[in-house]
Amino acid sequence: MGARLSTAGVLVSVEPVTGYVISGHAQMELERRGLSMKVVKEVLASPEQRLEVRPGRVVLQSRFRMGEPARVYLVRIFVDVDRRPAEVVTAYRTSGVRRYWKGTP
């Protein structure tokens, strides 16, 4: 579905989410937005960035090349980490990489 971009020499140390469930809402949004589980699993296992949205909720994000012609998108996955297993709440892709990326994209 997409090719992941390298971080080009930037050392990024982020914690993955390994044990999780996908909420009904998130599953519906993944299908509606055309995001594959392969991409979701890749971001959860090895995110480029992990940001706290509020206590107990994080957003994991990574950049991918997708579509024809290929464009760079940011895949953002919102996860409630204050429960076991963690729960994927929603996910989407955006072309607004500069808007959401922390640091130099």
For the chain, domain boundaries: 17-100
Strands 86-94 and 71-80, bridge-based pairing = antiparallel
Distance CA 17, CA 65 (A): 22
Angle 11-14-17 from CA coordinates, rounded to 5°: 150
Six-digit token pair at 61?
């994000």
Q: What is residue 103's predicted lDDT score, i.e. its pLDDT? A: 84
Q: Which amino acid, 75?
A: V
Whole-prediction pTM:
0.84
Q: How many CB atoms lie within 10 A of CB 75?
A: 25
Q: What is residue 105's predicted lDDT score, i.e. its pLDDT? A: 63
- Rounded mean pLDDT for each run of 10 residues along the chain, 105 residues in total: 41 74 97 96 95 92 92 96 96 95 80
Report cis status (omega within 30 of 0) of the bond before 16: no
Report the run of H or E that residue 52 belongs to, with start and end. strand 49-54
Q: What is residue 38's predicted lDDT score, i.e. its pLDDT? A: 96
